């Protein structure tokens, strides 16, 4: 907390607060479908970017529809003039925020990383209205930049005049262009995906299987369900990997093995391998299931046991008498697998004991997500 304001990240150069604005109000005309829902590395575009902004206590979600459901921790800020592009979203965000400035990032930048924002914040000062990144080709990225409230008069005037091109507005602002040339950050982090061809190129460049979280209360039978489901998915021709989340940490190796001794000696990781398999133990802070997807890049689907708070698509198990209804709200669920008859929770209901039916439903869902 600084100056009594806990609501934002503070600039290292001055006592100026910075919030986050996730721009998601576009109509995706060139894509032909909602870009926010496209999957990459097992998550939707919008969730990937939202996760990178989670250090900002004030997080705004710019959309055209005020009834839109925001990512967790975000507050909806509807565009005041739908159809006027990101300029309208930035104006609405700056007018609504409590901060002095907003980091604006478009939802179609799935490779964006939080470190890039920290790099940009290091240049924040009173002398400029906006701080934008210039990549190594010299291209300016107005939808990955910091806009101070001092920019509002010019931006609002552009809106009133019906001049919606953000680049035109920038010509009238004091803009600091921050080059990536001398930084450790790749231009690739600024990739924005506007067309189906660009999306396919992105998938080809870094293909990772989707992650489906299977969650439920304790003793709901998650492992038993997965052991029933996996062979049925294999029978349908799908290659599957499984990841189990342990909320209490665990002992990664058995005392007495050589790998255990190496870890006890202080190694940050240890691996054991043969001609057909390997086992890897690595110590790391803040491990995420998505990071493990790189290990399983040759499968069609990763099943995550647990992960009810994860950003991945979810199935929830509701097993009577252990539980009587889902813990998660319907908007966070793909389906519910249950042994309760005639239950209606606003999402598809799958039979808990019938792995074949659940496998066919998941296979159809995977097909619907394929490019």
69-115 pLDDT, tens digit each: 899 999 999 887 777 889 999 999 999 999 999 999 999 999 998 88
> Which pLDDT belongs to residue 6?
30
Whether residue 49 is preceded by a cis peptide bond, meaning omega within 30 degrees of 0, is: no
Residues 6+ apart with CB under 8 A from 186: 180
* Element at 197 (helix H, strand E): helix 196-205
Q: Which domains does the chain have, with CATH numbers?
A: 9-205 (3.90.550.10), 211-252+287-369 (3.40.50.300)
> Which pLDDT belongs to residue 2?
30
Alpha carbon separation from 256 to 259, 263, 283, 348 (Å, rounded)? 8, 11, 19, 48
List of the chain residues with pLDDT < 50? 1-8, 11-14, 371
Q: What is the CA radius of gyration of the chain?
A: 23
The length of the chain is 371
User: Please, which contacts does 329-338 make with residues 24 or more away whose CB atoms are closer than 8 Å?
Assistant: 331/69, 334/212, 334/365, 335/361, 337/225
Residues 6+ apart with CB under 8 A from 129: 147, 148, 150, 151, 154, 173, 174, 175
* Element at 228 (helix H, strand E): helix 222-235
Helix, coil or strand: residue 130: strand
Give CA–CA dist 43/364, Å, rounded: 18
Residues 6+ apart with CB under 8 A from 204: none
For the purposes of burial, counting CB atoms within 10 Å of the CB of 300, is it exposed (0-12), middle (13-18) or buried (19 or more)?
middle
Give CA–CA dist 339/61, Å, rounded: 38
Task: Give yes or no for a contact between 83 and 69, defined as CB atoms under 8 angstroms apart.
Answer: no
Q: In the structure encoding, which two tokens stand for residue 147, read together?
A: 């806009």
User: Please, which contacts does 277-281 make with residues 24 or more away whose CB atoms are closer than 8 Å?
Assistant: 281/252, 281/253
> Which pLDDT belongs to residue 232?
96
């Amino acid at each position: 907390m600084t100056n009594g304001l806990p609501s934002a990240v503070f600039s290292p150069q001055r006592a100026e607060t910075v919030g986050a604005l996730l721009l998601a109000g576009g109509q995706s005309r060139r894509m032909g479908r909602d870009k926010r829902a496209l999957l990459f590395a097992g998550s939707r575009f919008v969730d990937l970017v939202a996760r990178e902004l989670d250090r900002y206590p004030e997080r705004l979600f710019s959309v055209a529809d005020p009834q839109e459901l925001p990512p967790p921790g975000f507050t909806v800020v509807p565009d005041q003039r739908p159809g006027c592009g990101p300029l309208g979203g930035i104006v609405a965000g700056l007018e609504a925020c409590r901060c002095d400035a907003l980091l604006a990032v478009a939802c179609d930048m799935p490779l964006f990383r939080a470190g890039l924002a920290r790099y940009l914040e290091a240049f924040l000062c009173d002398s400029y209205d906006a701080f934008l990144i210039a990549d190594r080709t010299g291209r300016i990225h107005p939808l990955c930049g910091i806009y101070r409230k001092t920019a509002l008069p010019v931006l609002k005037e552009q809106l009133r005049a019906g001049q919606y091109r953000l680049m035109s507005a920038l010509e009238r602002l004091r803009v600091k262009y921050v080059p990536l040339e001398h930084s450790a950050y790749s231009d690739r982090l600024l990739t924005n995906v506007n067309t189906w061809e660009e999306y396919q190129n992105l998938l080809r460049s870094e293909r990772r299987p989707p992650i489906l979280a299977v969650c439920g209360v304790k003793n709901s039978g998650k492992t038993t369900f997965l052991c029933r489901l996996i062979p049925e998915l294999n029978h349908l021709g799908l290659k599957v990997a499984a990841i189990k989340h342990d909320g209490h940490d665990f002992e990664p190796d058995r005392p007495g093995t050589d790998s255990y001794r190496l870890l006890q000696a202080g190694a940050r990781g240890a691996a054991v391998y043969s001609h057909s398999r390997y086992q890897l133990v690595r110590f790391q802070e803040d491990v995420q299931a998505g990071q493990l997807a790189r290990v399983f890049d040759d499968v069609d689907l990763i099943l995550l046991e647990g992960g009810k708070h994860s950003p991945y698509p979810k199935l929830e198990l509701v097993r009577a008498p252990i539980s009587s209804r889902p813990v998660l709200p319907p908007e966070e669920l793909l389906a519910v697998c249950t042994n309760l008859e005639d239950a209606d929770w606003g999402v598809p209901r799958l039979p808990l004991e019938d792995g074949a039916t659940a496998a066919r439903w998941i296979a159809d869902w995977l097909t619907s997500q394929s490019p």
